[in-house]
Structure 1
Amino acid sequence: MLSTVLQVALGGAIGASGRYLAGVWIGHNFPSHQFPLGVIAVNILGSFIMGALVVFLGQRGLTHWNALLATGMLGGFTTFSSFSLETWRLMDTGRYDLAITYVGLSVVVSIIALIGGVHVMRTVLAAFPA
């Protein structure tokens, strides 16, 4: 268990660093002040890599690398790749109803939660100004 946690931690550090560097590179080479190009590029790239990686590891009998590469590295690079993988798994098993529900709840409820967090923190900070 500890070994798996360390693999996830190491992979996460590498993935998060990769996400940062990719975002900096994209922002420098394709500046866009209106659209989060770096985020969407990382999400799409990470999702593509996650799909390819899961098939490769599964077919080669290398699933013991999942903690480091899929959960850790790609999870650190973009959690959207994990979201995409879970959605595909539901679709691949014919559970389109659950896939649609999962996508809808994940996107809509996450945005609502973010708005809620913004509202709560603005209220708290207004009550306790610096």
Structure 2
Amino acid sequence: MERQHNFLIELVIVGLGGGIGGSMRYILSLIPIIGHMFFITMVINWLGALLLAIFGVYISQVSKQLSLWPPFIGTGILGGFTTFSAMILQINQLASHNYLIAGGYVFFTIFGGIIMVNIGRKIGKQFDEVIK
């Protein structure tokens, strides 16, 4: 029974976080001129990778104390904020006009995400050193 109760709590927490992350993504889409361009999805995915890496390093140090934060922030907020499906749709749309631009978008999205994860890990380690 307790396992089911914990599952329901996590489900609600992930749902709340997803609502927050999805709302943040929607707000960014309203930015005049750039909000509807494919570039904004790439930036959102880069930012999500950066924040998830920072959070991942930090939470690995204090995971037992913050048991509900990983599903809320990682799966919920950042999962709702970043969007693989929108990226795939935009790649398809770009490819219908220009394969070179679509390929560049894929390359820069993935390469930029890897860079952001590495930067995020370094920032997360610095946070950990400051806290200690």
User: TM (normalized to structure 1)?
Assistant: 0.53
- Structure 1 counterpart of 2:34, which letter? P
Query: Alpha-carbon deviation of 1:32?
Result: 8.1
CA distance in 1, matches of 2:25, 2:35: 17
Consecutive unaligned residues in structure 1, runs of 5 or more: 81-106, 116-130
Alpha-carbon RMSD: 2.6
How many correspondences in the alignment? Answer: 81
Structure having the higher Rg: 1
State which of 25, 39, 42 in structure 2 corresponds to 1:40: 42
Q: State whether residues 10 and 68 of structure 2, in contact with CA within 8 Å, keep that contact through their aligned partners in structure 1.
A: no
State which of 6, 14, 28 in structure 1 corresponds to 2:12: 6
Query: Alpha-carbon deviation of 1:36?
Result: 0.7
The percent identity for this pair of structures is 33
State which of 73, 81, 89 in structure 2 corresponds to 1:77: 81
Q: State whether residues 12 and 72 of structure 1, in contact with CA within 8 Å, keep that contact through their aligned partners in structure 2.
A: yes
After the TM superposition, which residues 1-130 of structure 1 pair with which residues of structure 2 at under 5 Å, given as runs? 1-25=7-31, 28=32, 31=34, 36-61=38-63, 62-80=66-84
Consecutive unaligned residues in structure 2, runs of 5 or more: 1-6, 94-132
Higher relative contact order (CA 8 A, sep 6+): 2
Q: Which stretches of structure 1, 4 residues or longer, exceed 3 Å deviation after superposition? A: 30-33
Query: Alpha-carbon deviation of 1:39?
Result: 0.5
Q: State whether residues 57 and 63 of structure 1, in contact with CA within 8 Å, keep that contact through their aligned partners in structure 2.
A: no
